[in-house]
Amino acid sequence: MDYRESVSFLFGLGKFAPTPGMVRMEPLLRGLGDPQRGLRVIHVAGTNGKGSTCAFIDSALREMGSDTILFTSPHLHTVRERMRRNGEMISREDFARIASRVRDLCEGVASETGEHPTFFEILAAIMYRWAADCGVDYVVQEVGLGGRFDATNVIREPLVTVITDVDLDHTEVLGSTLAEIAGEKAGIIKPGVPLVVGPVKPEALRVIAGIASDRDAPMQVLHSDTSGVSPPTFGTPRVSRCGAIFSYRGVRWCFPEVSIAMLGGHQVRNAALAVAALEAIAHRIDISPGITVEGIGKARWPGRVELVACEPVVILDGAHNTSGARVFSECLGELFADRCIHAVIGIMGDKDASAMLRAMAERITGWVAVTRPPIPRATPEDALKELAEVDLGGAQGVSAHADPDDAVDAVLARANPGDVVVVWGSLYLVGAVRGRWVPDHS
């Protein structure tokens, strides 16, 4: 297959399999020579923030001169974004070469297991084979969905596991309570492997702590700086439109100031979690505390509170669930409380669109254009318009647009130079319009 054919093959597959588990991944990777064995992996799960946390960790390792592969999802413009070596996407040639090899194995896997490998499973297999071929120092990988049955959970001995947070999302797959979802995400915890957990609700933490104890996995929980709380902790950040500065106190490391360029106070938690994860394995690999902080400060993550224009200010954010919308709303309050905020909104059909809109209602005071992200399971624009008219009562007006670019045009036509325009609700929507401001390198 050439690259176009390999992409067509992938997108012709289902994203989810009837039977969860490693039943397809194990024979698929066996056919590839079990490339995942021997890789030094940092494994990150969570409802929100896992991609940003991975980006911080990857940036810090690269700053130390390490050869890394970063595996994340979803992508904004091209599927090759999901796997990057030292910041550079996998080449079309390497992608097609390994995808062809994987495709040739799929018929045998389907015959053996009764099910064809899924879209994400094949991507993970391609990444593992590529990582082994490249002989990289580290793989920083984000869980695709949940953790226990995720394709990335074939890694049996990661260096460290991280759970960023736990909230209600993908409830049709992961469960309807925080405890159930926490149990799925805690599936990445491995015997004896250190675990670092972000600030999570007590209901979720109890489940995670119980599983960590059962597996004899040493656990650290990151806290915001509170008197009497044991490290790791991070101090109240100073947030600006240039990034944020915060303090970090760990078990061994202590930094009066850590600067990050990503926007929003929520990224401080992700950055601190990345520092804590690296500190947890500093005794096993050669990690410099000072260089870690320098690398954290250089991290970037497209489509997450990404400022792409200034007059008016245009912010792209992939907040795609209720908790993500709450965080984005808080971020806008930190950065643009004095501005009129217009919005282009597109939300997937499996999300609680009404709750997401209500979470943002306090911030959106300008014109709203709703649209449909370019994927079949998106909420239709007419249905979203009805919700927005009720849940965004402070908006100046709501219009519906079938085409995302038309929605952006409608909002930009009404925004003054000093206003703010936000495009949010789905990373698929962000990916569809981001090329207006940022070159598409697909």
pLDDT in tens, 5-45: 999 998 888 665 667 778 999 999 999 999 999 999 999 99
| pLDDT in the model for residue 227 | 67
H helix runs in 251-298, sequence order: 266-280, 289-298
Q: For residue 243, give the 3-state DSSP assignment.
A: strand
As given in the structure block, the two tokens for residue 266 are 């929520």
Residue 387 CA to residue 393 CA, distance in Å, equals 10
CATH for the 3-298 domain, from 1.20.140.10, 3.40.1190.10, 3.30.43.10, 3.30.470.20: 3.40.1190.10
Residue 346 CA to residue 425 CA, distance in Å, equals 5
Asked if 381 and 337 count as a contact pair (C-beta separation under 8 A), the reply is: no
| pLDDT in the model for residue 176 | 76
| pLDDT in the model for residue 145 | 86
| pLDDT in the model for residue 97 | 97
Residue with tokens 């797959």: 173
Helix/strand/coil percentages in the chain, nearest 5: 40, 20, 40
What does residue 314 show for φ and ψ, rounded to 5 degrees? -120, 125
| pLDDT in the model for residue 229 | 80
Residue 62 CA to residue 57 CA, distance in Å, equals 9
Residue 261 CA to residue 244 CA, distance in Å, equals 7
250-262 pLDDT tens trace: 999 999 999 999 9
pTM, to two decimals:
0.92
Do strands 138-142 and 68-71 pair parallel, antiparallel, or not at all (unpaired)? Answer: parallel
| pLDDT in the model for residue 377 | 87
Asked if 41 and 139 count as a contact pair (C-beta separation under 8 A), the reply is: yes
Asked if 318 and 333 count as a contact pair (C-beta separation under 8 A), the reply is: no
**What does the chain come to in residues?**
442
| pLDDT in the model for residue 441 | 63
| pLDDT in the model for residue 17 | 62
Do strands 243-249 and 233-234 pair parallel, antiparallel, or not at all (unpaired)? Answer: antiparallel
Residue 221 CA to residue 390 CA, distance in Å, equals 39
Residue 218 CA to residue 212 CA, distance in Å, equals 7
For the chain, give every domain's residue range.
Answer: 3-298, 306-435
For the chain, which residues score pLDDT lower than 50?
none
* Residue 339 exposure: Cα atoms within 13 Å on the Cβ side: 23
CATH 3.90.190.20 fits 306-435, yes or no: yes
Strand partners, 163: 45, 197
CA quadruple 401, 417, 360, 186: dihedral positive or negative? Answer: positive
Residue with tokens 């592969």: 69
